[in-house]
Amino acid sequence: MRKHIALGVAVVTSAALLAACSGGDPAPATTEGSSAGAGDGAGTELVVWSDAERAEAIKNAAADFEEDTGATVTVVQKNFEDLRADFLAQVPTGEGPDITVGAHDWLGEFVESGVVDTIDIGDRAGDFEQVTLDALTYDGQLYALPYAQESVALIQNVGLVGSEPPATWDEMIQMATDAGFAERPFVLYTNGAEGDMYTSYAFQTSFGAPVFVQDESGSYTSEVGLGGDAGLAYAQWIHANGSAGTGYFTDTVDYDIGNELFATGQSPFIVQGPWTIPTYQDAGIEVAVSPVPSAGGQTASPFVGVQGFYLSAQSSNALLANEFLVNYMATDEAQQALYDADPRIPALTSVAEQVSDDPVIAGFLASAQNGVPMPNIPEMGAVWEFWNPAQIALINGEDPTSVWTSMVTNIEGAIGG
Protein backbone atom coordinates (compact mmCIF):
# COMPACT_ATOMS: atom_id res chain seq x y z
CA MET A 1 0.00 0.00 0.00
CA ARG A 2 1.23 3.46 -0.80
CA LYS A 3 2.29 5.70 2.06
CA HIS A 4 1.59 9.42 2.14
CA ILE A 5 4.22 12.03 2.78
CA ALA A 6 4.09 15.21 4.82
CA LEU A 7 6.01 18.26 3.64
CA GLY A 8 7.12 21.14 5.77
CA VAL A 9 6.52 24.77 4.94
CA ALA A 10 9.36 27.20 4.47
CA VAL A 11 7.90 29.56 1.89
CA VAL A 12 7.83 32.54 4.26
CA THR A 13 11.48 31.99 5.12
CA SER A 14 12.42 31.65 1.46
CA ALA A 15 10.64 34.85 0.50
CA ALA A 16 12.30 36.76 3.31
CA LEU A 17 15.74 35.49 2.32
CA LEU A 18 15.15 36.45 -1.29
CA ALA A 19 14.21 39.96 -0.23
CA ALA A 20 17.24 40.20 2.03
CA CYS A 21 19.54 39.13 -0.79
CA SER A 22 18.14 41.84 -3.06
CA GLY A 23 18.44 44.53 -0.38
CA GLY A 24 14.71 45.25 -0.31
CA ASP A 25 12.10 44.95 2.40
CA PRO A 26 11.02 41.42 3.32
CA ALA A 27 8.33 40.22 0.93
CA PRO A 28 5.28 38.21 1.93
CA ALA A 29 5.11 34.54 1.07
CA THR A 30 4.03 33.95 -2.51
CA THR A 31 1.21 31.81 -3.75
CA GLU A 32 0.25 30.53 -7.17
CA GLY A 33 -0.42 33.38 -9.54
CA SER A 34 0.97 35.99 -7.15
CA SER A 35 3.51 38.60 -8.15
CA ALA A 36 4.68 39.14 -4.57
CA GLY A 37 8.43 39.60 -4.41
CA ALA A 38 8.62 41.19 -7.86
CA GLY A 39 12.11 42.43 -8.59
CA ASP A 40 13.78 40.06 -6.15
CA GLY A 41 15.68 38.39 -8.99
CA ALA A 42 16.78 41.46 -10.88
CA GLY A 43 19.98 40.72 -12.77
CA THR A 44 19.87 37.00 -11.92
CA GLU A 45 19.90 34.23 -14.51
CA LEU A 46 18.31 30.81 -14.03
CA VAL A 47 19.46 28.12 -16.46
CA VAL A 48 17.02 25.30 -17.20
CA TRP A 49 17.92 22.18 -19.15
CA SER A 50 15.10 20.67 -21.19
CA ASP A 51 14.51 18.51 -24.20
CA ALA A 52 12.97 20.11 -27.27
CA GLU A 53 9.44 18.89 -26.56
CA ARG A 54 9.10 20.76 -23.29
CA ALA A 55 11.25 23.81 -23.97
CA GLU A 56 8.53 26.08 -25.35
CA ALA A 57 6.17 25.39 -22.44
CA ILE A 58 8.95 26.25 -19.98
CA LYS A 59 9.74 29.46 -21.85
CA ASN A 60 6.09 30.52 -21.73
CA ALA A 61 5.97 30.07 -17.94
CA ALA A 62 9.30 31.84 -17.64
CA ALA A 63 7.96 34.95 -19.36
CA ASP A 64 5.65 35.74 -16.44
CA PHE A 65 8.38 34.89 -13.96
CA GLU A 66 10.82 37.22 -15.69
CA GLU A 67 8.28 40.05 -15.68
CA ASP A 68 7.45 39.55 -11.99
CA THR A 69 10.98 39.09 -10.65
CA GLY A 70 13.34 40.79 -13.07
CA ALA A 71 15.28 37.54 -13.42
CA THR A 72 16.20 35.93 -16.72
CA VAL A 73 15.43 32.29 -17.50
CA THR A 74 17.62 30.65 -20.14
CA VAL A 75 16.29 27.35 -21.48
CA VAL A 76 19.01 25.13 -22.92
CA GLN A 77 17.76 22.35 -25.20
CA LYS A 78 19.48 18.96 -24.93
CA ASN A 79 18.64 15.45 -26.02
CA PHE A 80 16.64 13.79 -23.26
CA GLU A 81 18.98 10.80 -23.39
CA ASP A 82 21.91 13.09 -22.48
CA LEU A 83 20.35 14.96 -19.57
CA ARG A 84 21.09 12.43 -16.83
CA ALA A 85 24.75 11.83 -17.61
CA ASP A 86 25.46 15.50 -18.34
CA PHE A 87 23.82 16.62 -15.09
CA LEU A 88 25.84 14.10 -13.07
CA ALA A 89 29.04 15.20 -14.80
CA GLN A 90 28.60 18.97 -14.80
CA VAL A 91 26.88 19.86 -11.53
CA PRO A 92 29.93 18.96 -9.39
CA THR A 93 32.05 21.28 -11.53
CA GLY A 94 29.67 24.21 -11.12
CA GLU A 95 28.93 24.22 -14.84
CA GLY A 96 25.52 22.58 -14.70
CA PRO A 97 22.08 24.23 -14.78
CA ASP A 98 19.97 25.46 -11.90
CA ILE A 99 17.13 23.15 -12.96
CA THR A 100 16.82 20.13 -15.22
CA VAL A 101 13.92 18.11 -16.54
CA GLY A 102 14.26 14.42 -15.69
CA ALA A 103 12.68 11.07 -14.85
CA HIS A 104 11.96 10.10 -11.27
CA ASP A 105 14.02 6.92 -11.35
CA TRP A 106 17.16 9.05 -11.71
CA LEU A 107 16.62 10.32 -8.18
CA GLY A 108 18.51 7.72 -6.18
CA GLU A 109 21.67 8.20 -8.21
CA PHE A 110 21.28 11.98 -8.08
CA VAL A 111 20.94 12.00 -4.30
CA GLU A 112 23.77 9.55 -3.72
CA SER A 113 25.99 11.63 -6.02
CA GLY A 114 25.07 14.85 -4.20
CA VAL A 115 23.92 16.71 -7.31
CA VAL A 116 20.35 17.61 -6.31
CA ASP A 117 18.81 19.70 -3.56
CA THR A 118 15.42 19.38 -1.87
CA ILE A 119 12.59 21.66 -2.93
CA ASP A 120 9.84 23.11 -0.76
CA ILE A 121 6.33 23.20 -2.17
CA GLY A 122 4.76 24.34 1.09
CA ASP A 123 1.02 23.80 1.25
CA ARG A 124 0.87 22.89 -2.45
CA ALA A 125 1.37 19.18 -1.68
CA GLY A 126 -2.36 18.57 -1.70
CA ASP A 127 -2.61 19.91 -5.25
CA PHE A 128 -0.62 17.01 -6.74
CA GLU A 129 -1.41 13.38 -7.41
CA GLN A 130 0.10 11.63 -4.40
CA VAL A 131 1.99 9.02 -6.41
CA THR A 132 3.92 11.77 -8.21
CA LEU A 133 5.16 13.19 -4.92
CA ASP A 134 6.06 9.73 -3.66
CA ALA A 135 8.06 9.12 -6.83
CA LEU A 136 10.26 12.16 -6.26
CA THR A 137 10.71 11.59 -2.53
CA TYR A 138 13.89 10.04 -1.12
CA ASP A 139 14.45 9.41 2.59
CA GLY A 140 11.35 11.46 3.32
CA GLN A 141 12.51 14.54 1.36
CA LEU A 142 11.04 15.91 -1.87
CA TYR A 143 13.75 16.52 -4.48
CA ALA A 144 11.87 17.66 -7.57
CA LEU A 145 8.64 19.24 -8.73
CA PRO A 146 6.50 16.62 -10.48
CA TYR A 147 4.74 17.58 -13.67
CA ALA A 148 3.72 14.37 -15.48
CA GLN A 149 2.97 10.70 -14.85
CA GLU A 150 2.21 7.58 -16.84
CA SER A 151 1.46 3.93 -16.19
CA VAL A 152 0.18 0.86 -17.94
CA ALA A 153 -3.47 -0.12 -17.73
CA LEU A 154 -5.85 -2.78 -19.01
CA ILE A 155 -6.86 -2.11 -22.61
CA GLN A 156 -9.80 -3.99 -24.08
CA ASN A 157 -11.32 -4.30 -27.52
CA VAL A 158 -14.85 -2.93 -27.15
CA GLY A 159 -15.99 -4.58 -30.35
CA LEU A 160 -15.09 -8.01 -28.97
CA VAL A 161 -15.94 -7.87 -25.25
CA GLY A 162 -17.82 -4.63 -24.70
CA SER A 163 -16.71 -1.69 -22.57
CA GLU A 164 -17.48 -2.95 -19.05
CA PRO A 165 -14.13 -3.46 -17.28
CA PRO A 166 -13.39 -6.69 -15.44
CA ALA A 167 -12.58 -6.34 -11.74
CA THR A 168 -10.55 -9.55 -11.45
CA TRP A 169 -8.32 -11.74 -13.57
CA ASP A 170 -10.86 -14.59 -13.48
CA GLU A 171 -13.64 -12.27 -14.62
CA MET A 172 -11.49 -11.05 -17.49
CA ILE A 173 -10.70 -14.60 -18.61
CA GLN A 174 -14.38 -15.49 -18.47
CA MET A 175 -15.33 -12.46 -20.57
CA ALA A 176 -12.76 -13.40 -23.19
CA THR A 177 -13.79 -17.07 -23.17
CA ASP A 178 -17.46 -16.18 -23.60
CA ALA A 179 -16.45 -14.04 -26.60
CA GLY A 180 -14.70 -17.00 -28.25
CA PHE A 181 -11.10 -16.36 -27.19
CA ALA A 182 -10.51 -19.33 -24.90
CA GLU A 183 -7.05 -20.03 -26.33
CA ARG A 184 -5.74 -16.45 -26.22
CA PRO A 185 -7.88 -14.44 -23.81
CA PHE A 186 -5.08 -12.04 -22.88
CA VAL A 187 -1.79 -10.81 -24.32
CA LEU A 188 1.07 -10.72 -21.82
CA TYR A 189 3.97 -8.62 -23.08
CA THR A 190 7.28 -10.25 -22.07
CA ASN A 191 9.75 -8.48 -24.38
CA GLY A 192 10.04 -11.84 -26.07
CA ALA A 193 12.42 -14.20 -24.30
CA GLU A 194 14.00 -11.36 -22.29
CA GLY A 195 11.15 -11.04 -19.78
CA ASP A 196 9.38 -7.86 -18.71
CA MET A 197 8.23 -7.66 -15.11
CA TYR A 198 7.67 -3.90 -15.47
CA THR A 199 4.52 -4.32 -17.55
CA SER A 200 3.11 -7.15 -15.43
CA TYR A 201 4.03 -5.65 -12.05
CA ALA A 202 0.41 -4.81 -11.19
CA PHE A 203 -0.43 -8.51 -11.13
CA GLN A 204 2.44 -9.11 -8.72
CA THR A 205 1.34 -6.39 -6.31
CA SER A 206 -2.16 -7.86 -6.30
CA PHE A 207 -0.55 -10.80 -4.47
CA GLY A 208 1.02 -8.43 -1.91
CA ALA A 209 4.62 -8.84 -3.09
CA PRO A 210 6.24 -5.44 -3.81
CA VAL A 211 9.74 -5.41 -5.22
CA PHE A 212 10.91 -3.16 -2.35
CA VAL A 213 9.15 -2.12 0.86
CA GLN A 214 8.11 1.52 1.30
CA ASP A 215 8.44 3.26 4.67
CA GLU A 216 5.93 5.56 6.33
CA SER A 217 7.13 8.58 4.35
CA GLY A 218 6.51 6.83 1.03
CA SER A 219 10.23 6.39 0.41
CA TYR A 220 11.54 3.04 -0.78
CA THR A 221 13.80 1.09 1.52
CA SER A 222 16.33 -1.52 0.41
CA GLU A 223 14.24 -4.26 2.04
CA VAL A 224 13.24 -6.72 -0.68
CA GLY A 225 9.51 -7.44 -0.60
CA LEU A 226 9.50 -10.26 -3.16
CA GLY A 227 9.97 -13.15 -0.75
CA GLY A 228 7.64 -15.07 1.51
CA ASP A 229 4.32 -16.69 0.76
CA ALA A 230 3.01 -13.74 -1.27
CA GLY A 231 5.92 -13.85 -3.69
CA LEU A 232 5.65 -17.61 -4.06
CA ALA A 233 1.93 -17.34 -4.74
CA TYR A 234 2.64 -14.92 -7.58
CA ALA A 235 5.32 -17.24 -8.98
CA GLN A 236 2.90 -20.14 -8.90
CA TRP A 237 0.30 -18.02 -10.73
CA ILE A 238 2.73 -17.25 -13.56
CA HIS A 239 3.66 -20.94 -13.74
CA ALA A 240 -0.01 -21.96 -13.82
CA ASN A 241 -0.62 -19.73 -16.82
CA GLY A 242 2.51 -20.72 -18.74
CA SER A 243 3.43 -23.80 -20.73
CA ALA A 244 2.81 -26.09 -17.74
CA GLY A 245 -0.74 -24.80 -17.30
CA THR A 246 -3.24 -22.78 -19.32
CA GLY A 247 -0.69 -21.67 -21.90
CA TYR A 248 -1.94 -18.09 -21.84
CA PHE A 249 1.62 -16.81 -21.28
CA THR A 250 4.43 -17.47 -23.74
CA ASP A 251 7.95 -16.12 -24.25
CA THR A 252 7.27 -15.02 -27.81
CA VAL A 253 5.44 -11.71 -27.30
CA ASP A 254 7.67 -8.75 -28.01
CA TYR A 255 6.36 -5.22 -28.49
CA ASP A 256 5.44 -5.55 -32.15
CA ILE A 257 3.88 -9.00 -31.82
CA GLY A 258 1.83 -7.95 -28.81
CA ASN A 259 0.51 -4.90 -30.62
CA GLU A 260 -0.29 -6.96 -33.71
CA LEU A 261 -2.20 -9.60 -31.74
CA PHE A 262 -4.37 -6.94 -30.13
CA ALA A 263 -4.72 -4.58 -33.10
CA THR A 264 -5.83 -7.40 -35.42
CA GLY A 265 -8.44 -8.71 -33.00
CA GLN A 266 -6.70 -11.97 -32.15
CA SER A 267 -7.09 -11.26 -28.41
CA PRO A 268 -9.47 -8.91 -26.60
CA PHE A 269 -7.29 -7.81 -23.66
CA ILE A 270 -3.75 -6.48 -23.18
CA VAL A 271 -1.89 -4.56 -20.48
CA GLN A 272 0.08 -1.75 -22.09
CA GLY A 273 0.77 1.96 -21.85
CA PRO A 274 -0.77 5.02 -23.50
CA TRP A 275 1.97 5.00 -26.13
CA THR A 276 0.25 2.03 -27.80
CA ILE A 277 -3.18 3.64 -28.19
CA PRO A 278 -2.49 5.35 -31.55
CA THR A 279 -1.47 1.99 -33.03
CA TYR A 280 -4.75 0.39 -31.95
CA GLN A 281 -6.91 3.32 -33.03
CA ASP A 282 -5.17 3.52 -36.40
CA ALA A 283 -6.12 -0.14 -36.85
CA GLY A 284 -9.76 0.77 -36.29
CA ILE A 285 -10.03 -0.76 -32.82
CA GLU A 286 -12.37 0.93 -30.35
CA VAL A 287 -10.64 0.63 -27.00
CA ALA A 288 -11.68 1.00 -23.38
CA VAL A 289 -9.03 1.57 -20.70
CA SER A 290 -9.32 0.72 -17.01
CA PRO A 291 -7.20 -0.29 -14.00
CA VAL A 292 -5.42 -3.64 -14.18
CA PRO A 293 -7.66 -6.35 -12.67
CA SER A 294 -6.54 -8.12 -9.53
CA ALA A 295 -5.18 -11.65 -9.86
CA GLY A 296 -4.20 -12.16 -6.21
CA GLY A 297 -7.06 -10.51 -4.34
CA GLN A 298 -5.38 -7.20 -3.47
CA THR A 299 -5.29 -3.96 -5.46
CA ALA A 300 -3.27 -4.31 -8.65
CA SER A 301 -0.76 -1.45 -8.44
CA PRO A 302 1.25 -0.86 -11.62
CA PHE A 303 4.52 1.01 -11.73
CA VAL A 304 4.05 4.72 -12.32
CA GLY A 305 6.73 6.71 -14.13
CA VAL A 306 6.97 10.38 -13.19
CA GLN A 307 8.69 13.32 -14.87
CA GLY A 308 9.80 16.32 -12.86
CA PHE A 309 12.07 19.33 -12.48
CA TYR A 310 15.21 18.76 -10.39
CA LEU A 311 17.01 21.57 -8.52
CA SER A 312 20.81 21.50 -8.69
CA ALA A 313 22.67 21.19 -5.40
CA GLN A 314 25.20 23.70 -6.78
CA SER A 315 22.68 26.36 -7.84
CA SER A 316 23.64 29.79 -6.51
CA ASN A 317 20.02 30.85 -6.98
CA ALA A 318 18.25 27.98 -5.24
CA LEU A 319 15.56 30.06 -3.55
CA LEU A 320 14.68 31.87 -6.75
CA ALA A 321 14.66 28.57 -8.64
CA ASN A 322 12.32 27.11 -6.03
CA GLU A 323 10.05 30.13 -6.51
CA PHE A 324 10.01 29.57 -10.27
CA LEU A 325 9.10 25.91 -9.91
CA VAL A 326 6.42 26.20 -7.23
CA ASN A 327 4.66 29.36 -8.38
CA TYR A 328 5.16 29.29 -12.16
CA MET A 329 5.76 25.71 -13.33
CA ALA A 330 3.11 24.34 -10.96
CA THR A 331 0.23 26.38 -12.39
CA ASP A 332 -2.67 24.98 -14.36
CA GLU A 333 -1.51 26.92 -17.41
CA ALA A 334 2.07 25.64 -17.30
CA GLN A 335 1.10 22.02 -16.70
CA GLN A 336 -1.51 22.16 -19.45
CA ALA A 337 1.13 23.55 -21.82
CA LEU A 338 3.51 20.73 -20.86
CA TYR A 339 0.73 18.23 -21.50
CA ASP A 340 -0.04 19.78 -24.89
CA ALA A 341 3.65 19.51 -25.82
CA ASP A 342 4.05 15.92 -24.61
CA PRO A 343 0.75 14.25 -23.65
CA ARG A 344 1.59 12.52 -20.39
CA ILE A 345 -1.01 12.83 -17.63
CA PRO A 346 -0.28 15.98 -15.57
CA ALA A 347 0.90 15.64 -11.98
CA LEU A 348 -1.29 18.55 -10.86
CA THR A 349 -4.66 17.04 -9.97
CA SER A 350 -6.75 19.88 -11.37
CA VAL A 351 -5.15 19.57 -14.80
CA ALA A 352 -5.19 15.76 -14.71
CA GLU A 353 -8.94 15.94 -14.18
CA GLN A 354 -9.35 18.40 -17.05
CA VAL A 355 -7.58 16.20 -19.59
CA SER A 356 -9.48 13.17 -18.28
CA ASP A 357 -12.56 14.31 -20.16
CA ASP A 358 -11.16 11.83 -22.68
CA PRO A 359 -12.26 8.38 -21.36
CA VAL A 360 -9.03 6.75 -22.54
CA ILE A 361 -6.95 9.21 -20.52
CA ALA A 362 -9.36 8.79 -17.61
CA GLY A 363 -8.68 5.06 -17.66
CA PHE A 364 -4.92 5.52 -17.52
CA LEU A 365 -5.30 8.07 -14.71
CA ALA A 366 -7.43 5.63 -12.72
CA SER A 367 -4.77 2.97 -13.19
CA ALA A 368 -2.02 5.36 -12.08
CA GLN A 369 -4.03 6.31 -9.01
CA ASN A 370 -3.86 2.64 -7.98
CA GLY A 371 -0.16 2.58 -8.73
CA VAL A 372 3.17 3.01 -7.01
CA PRO A 373 6.31 4.71 -8.30
CA MET A 374 8.91 2.50 -9.88
CA PRO A 375 11.61 2.39 -7.17
CA ASN A 376 13.96 5.36 -7.38
CA ILE A 377 16.68 3.81 -5.22
CA PRO A 378 20.02 2.66 -6.70
CA GLU A 379 19.35 -0.91 -5.57
CA MET A 380 16.70 -1.24 -8.28
CA GLY A 381 19.46 -1.57 -10.83
CA ALA A 382 20.40 -4.96 -9.39
CA VAL A 383 16.87 -6.35 -9.67
CA TRP A 384 16.19 -6.58 -13.37
CA GLU A 385 18.90 -9.11 -14.29
CA PHE A 386 17.32 -11.69 -11.96
CA TRP A 387 13.66 -10.65 -12.00
CA ASN A 388 12.98 -10.63 -15.75
CA PRO A 389 14.60 -14.03 -16.43
CA ALA A 390 12.58 -15.53 -13.56
CA GLN A 391 9.39 -14.61 -15.41
CA ILE A 392 10.55 -16.49 -18.50
CA ALA A 393 11.66 -19.52 -16.50
CA LEU A 394 8.25 -19.74 -14.84
CA ILE A 395 6.41 -19.31 -18.14
CA ASN A 396 8.50 -22.13 -19.58
CA GLY A 397 7.48 -24.50 -16.81
CA GLU A 398 10.38 -24.45 -14.35
CA ASP A 399 9.60 -25.14 -10.68
CA PRO A 400 8.12 -21.96 -9.15
CA THR A 401 9.47 -22.47 -5.64
CA SER A 402 13.01 -23.09 -6.85
CA VAL A 403 12.99 -20.28 -9.44
CA TRP A 404 11.51 -17.66 -7.15
CA THR A 405 13.55 -18.53 -4.08
CA SER A 406 16.79 -18.43 -6.07
CA MET A 407 15.79 -15.10 -7.61
CA VAL A 408 15.15 -13.49 -4.22
CA THR A 409 18.43 -14.84 -2.86
CA ASN A 410 20.34 -13.49 -5.86
CA ILE A 411 18.75 -10.05 -5.61
CA GLU A 412 19.44 -9.78 -1.89
CA GLY A 413 23.01 -10.87 -2.47
CA ALA A 414 23.50 -8.34 -5.24
CA ILE A 415 22.32 -5.43 -3.10
CA GLY A 416 24.03 -6.66 0.05
CA GLY A 417 20.75 -7.36 1.82
Domains in the chain (CATH in brackets) are 11-149+305-373 (3.40.190.10), 153-301+377-415 (3.40.190.10)
Alpha-carbon distance values, 187 to 2, 32, 190 (Å): 28, 45, 9
Q: Which helix (H) or strand (E) holds 372?
A: strand 372-373
| Predicted model pTM | 0.87
Assess contact for 136 and 111: CB atoms under 8 A: no
Low-confidence residues of the chain: pLDDT under 50: 1-39
The pLDDT of residue 21 is: 35
What's the 3-state SS for 245-311? CCCCCCCCCCHHHHHHHHHCCCCCEEEECHHHHHHHHHCCCCEEEECCCECCCCCCCCEEEEEEEEE
Which pLDDT does position 388 carry in this prediction? 98
What's the pLDDT tens digit per position in 300-356? Answer: 999 999 999 999 999 999 999 999 999 999 999 999 999 999 889 999 999 999 999
Q: 131-171: per-residue pLDDT in tens?
A: 999 999 998 899 999 999 999 999 999 999 999 999 999 99
What is the model's pLDDT at position 417? 53
What does the angle CA 368 – CA 8 – CA 141 come to, to the nearest 5 degrees? 55
Sort 413 into a burial class: Cβ within 10 Å, 0-12 / 13-18 / 19+: exposed
Q: What is the pLDDT of residue 25?
A: 34
What local confidence, expressed as pLDDT, does residue 43 receive? 83
